[in-house]
Structure 1
């Protein structure tokens, strides 16, 4: 995997030659020899190695000699990065001072010239090392660009298919797929079975393929396990051989010399004669499917089955209406326990003294059948003492790497990573820094990837959009799992499978990519580049050389920290640091040593007690993300305006006291001249300054903004704000909060709203609904709070064609809300809160045809469920919060003339009361109500306030 480091450094060299060196030469002196020339030589040498490195990725683990060569190349790439970043640090240090005068400038010139020559000398030595590595490669006959990689080709063989004795929980899925195959629908149909490695896709499909009903239905059965790397001619020859073998006829002469076009000519006429079933096992890429698709004749009742880890492949292969994508799911907890006990105890039950540790080991498997079989098979060979099993649980990561009995599991889980392009490998390895079962926020990950330099620049896209594509590809390849989504379908949080995480931690350590400090005895590389500290400062290894460190993270560290945490851990400093994430650390003040981290791109002090930022932050000229969310910071120094690379500025907090309060969110005082931050994409939340109206005009200069949050707005600010918003053509999310509940938000001057606007949050009084809102068809989420409109807003909002989430809090003062037939065609989530005069909600048949969740809160005059709620056939969740008891009584199955029958078919119906500072949550069931849980007001309604 040295290709990751080499490709990364090649891009860095290109950027350095184009930008930093050019700038240095222009500002200091024209030097015709030295750093640029050496870097160009190095770049050319590394380019020549790339093909060999790419091939080495496939066989490196099985060849110790090759592994050493790869390690040397990787170390060289890392050392080049150190030299470049060291030069940048030195240059930034000299220019970061504010002293002026001839003597100072002369001293800086001398120091820069000296640093320039030192850099050139270091690069010459590195180039000499590259020549030695290249010579070693030649002398040892390692020419991987032309090496026969047959030994590295991977196919899904019977060895990877679970034994029939290990099959649990597949009967229902098998029956579904068998029925689908033998149904006599006309034309060729495609069935794709998709899921991460180890879920049993091949096992399930093999059971279906071997079923007697399937064998009788089709004349020809062919099973093709795709190899990697994929060779089209070999694949098609394999199909030809199997087809003719199936009908016991000799293979046509000359197929060994045919190209892919001629082989397709042989296949297609053959298939037109027969009713066939073809299984393509282990399809990795869309182009593999496209390459063979047209070779398969589309006769009546023919079927193609595909197994793949890639969701994009599954979708691309199933384009016809009757095609089917089948997502295979992990085993349930009951099935997992059954399989685990069957294998671990040879069919016997688990001894009571091993139940607790067995459950924890099983949790690591997360329902992955292959993992359960492999690990339980290993456990079955042990003596079965609690201490021995506890040791296995604690050291499972090392066991997966080194134990021969788990080699098959490791290989299967590693395959998806093995064939990733290099830029996705970096992004995926990066997930190793997060702790077990950690929910990774999408935007946090995207900002970190960008700060690390993993995300390429593409014309027409922001780096954030490119990084989003990277994440989506990892998701589609079943390497990352979606944990939570926003109401409009965007990924909110994600995670990785526990065992896959153990594997990439091992790879990350082997490749010197990152060190994970979660215990005192963890192994660290000699040159730590990324350090992730978990649980306690006691896990830090002191007296280590951290001069190469690029990223430092702290997760769930509750130890008290000094005001200078970096200096207290490593007094020598972190001069090359680019990422510093101290989220939730026990900090009271801004750590002063951060100011000297001139190369820093990402700084997070989120959820700390920091309350002020020093003016010296203006020295951090490379800072891209400043995350001060949920800190006590309310003002920023004017020097923040010097940070021209700043893309994301997050300075706000939620202060929850009671959820009916108008003020629950706090931002920071806006800075005059904030329009200077031309790179900003997210600005949340600035408080409008009533003494300086020009601030709102400054916002209009931030043309790269994707998300904007403004608070403390007055009616007279409306025209200036609208004028600025019209200029923000890239804006996707807008949040506006008035100064007080009764203050009017005047947005009627917005004649040309941003056409990309998808999310709109307005908190404050509206004299009338702005006429541009119903015209903005890109809107997917709308929150209106404390609007107190005289007219029903639903008439204006109902035809928003892409609206999926609507929240209304005290939006109108009328007594009726009417949802008309044909309105809100895509709405899935609806909240109705604190309509004090509301007595009736009407829902006509045909309104909200795809609604899934309806919440009604604090409508004290509403005494019946919405009329026509029985028409909402897609409704899954119905919630009532703090509603009149008269309404709740109508939900009882025994209430005369009640509404029980109207809501009985809804899967989840809840109603909640606040009693003595706690919420009592009840569930409506056929047997009546029962208490589900008791939660404090703060925890239960926090999400409502954050909207």
Structure 2
């Protein structure tokens, strides 16, 4: 992490040397000296991070480097602050004038003095640094790899899980091994550290059936710092050991190529199993894969890894042989926990509640469960307060326990392996309260504002940040909570135990202070503060003068307001202010004095206006007012030339139908095209004059554009603008009324990278340019009321994954033809009021996983040919009569969710069970079961999940798949009537 801090300081130093060369007269050489020394230290820091915990001298040295980097950043920022005082954005254009001013002379003297002092400190650190390197040989050539220095693996604690929950995956893997094809196959077991990958594969490796099937078995572990020659020699020793022969002479003196040849020739005519355990990098796989011959004898390579990228690379020819190891189920976790703590499955009743809470923190991670069990096994079981104390101190103090230290060491390996820029990104997760899903774009914008992410050639900062997040996911450090139908992450989180590790490291490095207690005091060096809503009081909060970022998570009604923790005199360097979800009622005036602010979020607050003084925030890049009450922006917003993300909109649910969400945007200034850097603009109201649509063509960096209250006469101007928006990825246009036509026929050059298109309004016909959208993954059409079948027009879009129709087609039949919609996974058909039949030809919709049918009142039967949809997992309908539903069961009663809903409206029903309702005609469902009419049973009998909702005497009831009673309540386990 210190490496990242130094890198960021170097970037800032290089910028200020280049931009303010004139003002650095007399100290430029010193600044460059500091830059050169810090660059040299970077090489050292790459090796130091993973070792400093075990070396006090190294820890002190790293801390000194960290301190000087902090101070350098502060010096540069205060210099910039002093120069911009009373000059604002005129600074860059008036350097000569400012340099002659008294203020500038004082600033120059001040920075000269501080840089001289910093140089002296850097010289001292550099001398100590070189002495350390010589004494410890840290920088020897053999240690210069970018891989993390090896951290000794503690005892295999997961082995202590005694195969709880292991039988099912074990049988699965053994089946793959002994019933495979004749060609050599590769199997990958992937999952985060501590899940028990090693234990599982060892059980498979030593299984009797596996031993019988493979005469030659080899196990090698590829740690992050493995030596290839040593492992090759180990393989040879294991192979000859099977034959009870000595290793041929000369092996110890062979180079790697000769060693590989010996192994390859030995295995040519043999059926073998090679286990490559703990593969951290694709380079390791690339080095060993060619060693093992494809001899058409049913041989296998079985590897374990924490990284999805490694697993997929190894199994590129066998994508179905990637086994994702899941955490233990709650039942398995409890069994393991009780076995380790109580030596049986019985927990004393008085400890059950606290034990369940402690176990919940382990989240099914065997390593964490075993480690926690070791802590609790030493506690007095008669004293519940001791167990409660363990629960309260989960994040502090357990490191002193040997078992927990081992668990943290294993999990820390994943952190140590990260490059510096990913360490900063991962540490940032420690700022969020545990258990809350984190929005992908929120995280990305925060990372960018913090300076963790820089654009690369041909890529925006947002795209680079997305790559960073995906890399953390592939490394099994970040868990995806929710994803879109087309595979994009929506929300994510980290495992609680990993979070505690990150909090500890963040605290050690003054990365962040978590404010959860009254009158908390933290180091003046701390850069970030995260205020959590379980703080009892905010009256006397301490704010560090070096603060760069402030995140507030506050769910209580009472809110002390930003003055309590934003002080213009002490928060002048603030770059990030996130108050999402706080009950803030007014725009905080103190904010406009924070001239370095890059990120401001007032999302989900009660703020209803933005002052014209916001123009002072010349560095602002993200302004998030989503779900606030703002409906208009001042013209002064146009002065924010660095603004990249502008979100001003909210949803309101229609009173008579919970599915209809009225969207409210904002009235934009007439010259909105002046925001030349903006990438996301949602949602501006088009009924402010025709020139507004023409202005959009100037925003050439736009990636996402949302327009409301669109009128037909705006069509030509909007099309002209869209022709200029070559970077557009998402476009949403909603007409001013349901009957208003969205006229986009004039578009001649649609954005070639457009991925998502939402058109809400009348369409006289589907625009021809839609057919050219090869990158389109999601299309949502609403109120179109087309007379021609839209399927024939859309079926050949090559990458379409998600398609929704609402009041789109006025015809009587829909026909999905052979090989149409090859990649479509989600299809929604809503309120096609004249639709009587749906036909699915064999070969159509080969990838469809979910089909939603809603409000199609005249539809008489399930889609004909639905039985051909081999990948269909979910089929949803709505509003089925009880008289017909009861015929679905042999006993004449409907299989329901176990409740009757007394509410008499769809709105109330949805608010309770929180599922999307699906509307279909009354005599629809009886055809689905052989004990009813059964006419359509053969069409849907292979669909795993079928959901139907119906009314009985005005009460709503839910029917779940009659063939699968085990999935009852699967969709809403926590609902309450």
Question: So what's the TM-score if we normalise by structure 1?
Answer: 0.92
User: For residue 831 of structure 1, what is the aligned residue in structure 2?
Assistant: 828
Distance 2:128 2:691 in 1: 66
Instruction: Report if aligned partners of 1:764, 1:786 keep a CA contact under 8 Å in 2.
Output: yes
The within-5 A match list for 1:593-608 is 593-608=590-605
Instruction: Report if aligned partners of 1:155, 1:226 keep a CA contact under 8 Å in 2.
Output: no
User: For residue 5 of structure 2, what is the aligned residue in structure 1?
Assistant: 5
Q: Secondary structure at the match of 2:291?
A: coil
Instruction: Report if aligned partners of 2:89, 2:618 keep a CA contact under 8 Å in 1.
Output: no
CA change 1:874–1:348 in 2 (3 A) is closer
Instruction: Report if aligned partners of 1:509, 1:525 keep a CA contact under 8 Å in 2.
Output: no
The Cα shift of 1:918 comes to 8.8
Matched, 1:197 2:193: yes
Bigger mean CA offset, 521-530 vs 63-72: 521-530
Distance 2:44 2:425 in 1: 22
User: For residue 630 of structure 1, what is the aligned residue in structure 2?
Assistant: 627
Q: Runs of 5+ in structure 2 lacking a partner?
A: 878-917
Q: Secondary structure at the match of 2:525?
A: coil
User: For residue 485 of structure 1, what is the aligned residue in structure 2?
Assistant: 483
The within-5 A match list for 1:362-511 is 362-384=359-381, 385-511=383-509
Which of 786, 790, 793 is the equivalent residue of 1:793?
790
State the aligned residue count.
927
User: For residue 549 of structure 2, what is the aligned residue in structure 1?
Assistant: 551
User: For residue 892 of structure 2, what is the aligned residue in structure 1?
Assistant: none
Matched, 1:263 2:256: no
Distance 1:442 1:543 in 2: 30
The Cα shift of 1:225 comes to 1.4
Which of 69, 81, 87 is the equivalent residue of 2:73?
81
Distance 1:55 1:539 in 2: 42
Q: Secondary structure at the match of 1:237?
A: helix
Q: Secondary structure at the match of 1:773?
A: helix
User: For residue 609 of structure 2, what is the aligned residue in structure 1?
Assistant: 612
Instruction: Report if aligned partners of 2:519, 2:541 keep a CA contact under 8 Å in 1.
Output: no
The within-5 A match list for 1:209-224 is 209-224=205-220
Q: Secondary structure at the match of 1:538?
A: coil
The Cα shift of 1:98 comes to 8.8
CA change 1:250–1:797 in 2 (3 A) is same
CA change 1:685–1:96 in 2 (3 A) is same
Instruction: Report if aligned partners of 1:533, 1:540 keep a CA contact under 8 Å in 2.
Output: no
User: For residue 945 of structure 1, what is the aligned residue in structure 2?
Assistant: none
Q: Secondary structure at the match of 1:58?
A: coil
Distance 2:499 2:964 in 1: 44
Distance 2:966 2:258 in 1: 70
Q: Runs of 5+ in structure 1 lacking a partner?
A: 941-947
Instruction: Report if aligned partners of 1:401, 1:503 keep a CA contact under 8 Å in 2.
Output: no
Matched, 1:778 2:775: yes
The Cα shift of 1:759 comes to 0.6
The Cα shift of 1:542 comes to 3.4
Distance 1:4 1:168 in 2: 41
The Cα shift of 1:237 comes to 3.1
CA change 1:868–1:108 in 2 (3 A) is farther
Q: Secondary structure at the match of 1:818?
A: strand
Distance 2:764 2:283 in 1: 56
Instruction: Report if aligned partners of 1:920, 1:934 keep a CA contact under 8 Å in 2.
Output: no
Distance 1:685 1:774 in 2: 26
Distance 2:599 2:105 in 1: 30
Give CA deviations for 1:201-222 in whole Å, capped at 9, x if unaligned: 1101111111122223333222
CA change 1:919–1:402 in 2 (3 A) is farther
Which of 29, 50, 59 is the equivalent residue of 1:37?
29
Matched, 1:144 2:138: yes
Distance 1:784 1:37 in 2: 62
Matched, 1:133 2:125: yes
Which of 723, 727, 739 is the equivalent residue of 1:726?
723
Question: So what's the TM-score if we normalise by structure 2?
Answer: 0.90
CA change 1:896–1:888 in 2 (3 A) is closer
The within-5 A match list for 1:521-670 is 524-536=522-534, 538=536, 542=540, 544-562=542-560, 565-567=562-564, 570=567, 572-658=569-655, 659=657, 664-670=662-668
User: For residue 69 of structure 1, what is the aligned residue in structure 2?
Assistant: 61
Bigger mean CA offset, 460-469 vs 769-778: 769-778
Which of 86, 90, 112 is the equivalent residue of 1:120?
112
The Cα shift of 1:665 comes to 0.4
CA change 1:541–1:729 in 2 (3 A) is same
Instruction: Report if aligned partners of 1:6, 1:77 keep a CA contact under 8 Å in 2.
Output: yes
User: For residue 512 of structure 1, what is the aligned residue in structure 2?
Assistant: 510
Distance 1:611 1:497 in 2: 37
The Cα shift of 1:177 comes to 1.6
The within-5 A match list for 1:813-852 is 813-852=810-849
CA change 1:327–1:356 in 2 (3 A) is same
Instruction: Report if aligned partners of 1:199, 1:328 keep a CA contact under 8 Å in 2.
Output: yes
Distance 2:199 2:923 in 1: 55
Q: Secondary structure at the match of 1:830?
A: strand
CA RMSD after TM alignment: 3.0
Q: Secondary structure at the match of 2:673?
A: helix
User: For residue 238 of structure 2, what is the aligned residue in structure 1?
Assistant: 242
Give CA deviations for 1:572-631 in whole Å, capped at 9, x if unaligned: 441111110000111111000110111111110000011111111111111111100001
The Cα shift of 1:569 comes to 5.9
Which of 282, 286, 310 is the equivalent residue of 1:290?
286
The within-5 A match list for 1:677-696 is 677-691=675-689, 693-696=690-693
Distance 1:803 1:540 in 2: 50
CA change 1:3–1:466 in 2 (3 A) is same
Q: Secondary structure at the match of 2:698?
A: coil
CA change 1:863–1:697 in 2 (3 A) is same
The Cα shift of 1:131 comes to 1.6
